[in-house]
Amino acid sequence: MKELAALLMRDIKLAVRAGGGALIGALFFLIVATLLPFAIGPDLALLARIGPAMLWIGALLASLLALDRLFATDYEDGSLDLIMMGRAPLEFAILAKALAHWLTTALPLVVVAPLLGLLLNMEFQSMTFVALTLLAGTPALTCIGLIGAALAVTLRRGGLLLAVLVLPLTIPVLIFGVAASNAAIAGPVPFGPPFTILCALSLASIVIGPFAAAAALRHGLE
């Protein structure tokens, strides 16, 4: 446990210090949400209707931004070798890294999402529901991203490949995330079922992601 806590704290420290890029995702999210009203035009009803979907797309793209550095920096400076030689199982070490990544990149998105809702003419209640679905769904995005990041780690320009690998796998998360938000805002479908499925997707990804990523890393280092 002590090993994992140390790894978690180190990754958080690295992310918030200069060059770590913890807030880049949130800033990118802000810019996407700011650009949309300009592109779509001043149709307030339309903006409010597509707002949740736009916020989800923005969050999805923003969560991709920092993903390619998740293992790549540790691979380049040799830290990954030592992480694999630690006494903590690699799967748990990866889970600790994923948690640090989620706390520093996804959680800020959840926090700023309600503010961005303002730009999309959403009501306060709608914004809190979108933030809630993001809170439930972003762990799935991070853990699915883990697999792609681990596969792309040995490639020099893995970032683009990563997006191609990861985005198709996030479709279910996107569908149920937006469905739950819309259900909460407009009805008539109840909020419960899509939201529960979203939570289930996150829980399943948290279990599968680290194991798949560990297998990919073990294979990739040879």
Partner 1 sequence: MRLWAENLACVRGGREVFAGVSFALGSGEALLVTGRNGAGKSSLLRMVAGLLRRSAGSLGLDAGEADHSIAEQAHYLGHQDALKPSLSVLENLSFWGAYLGASPASGKALDAVGLRDLSGLPAAYLSAGQRRRLSIARLVAVKRPIWLLDEPTSALDSPAQSQLAELMRGHLHGGGIIVAAAHGPIGLERARELKLGAA
Contacts with partner 1 by CB under 8 A lie at 2-3, 5-7, 10, 13-14, 17-20, 76-79, 81-88, 221-222
Closest C-alpha to 70, from 210, 215, 219? 210
Dihedral angle of Cα 110, 111, 115, 117, to the nearest 10 degrees: 10
5 or 171: CB nearest partner 1: 5
Task: Give alpha helix (H) positions in 66-151.
Answer: 69-76, 79-84, 90-101, 107-119, 124-151
92 or 211: CB nearest partner 1: 92
Closest approach, Cβ 221 to partner 1, in A, equals 6
159 or 220: CB nearest partner 1: 220
Task: Give alpha helix (H) positions in 24-76.
Answer: 24-40, 44-65, 69-76
CB 22 within 8 A of CB 16: yes
93 or 162: CB nearest partner 1: 93
Closest approach, Cβ 72 to partner 1, in A, equals 13
Token digits of residue 180: 């739950």
Q: Rounded to a whole number, what is the distance in angstroms from the first to the last CA of the chain?
A: 28
178 or 217: CB nearest partner 1: 217
Token digits of residue 25: 């995702």
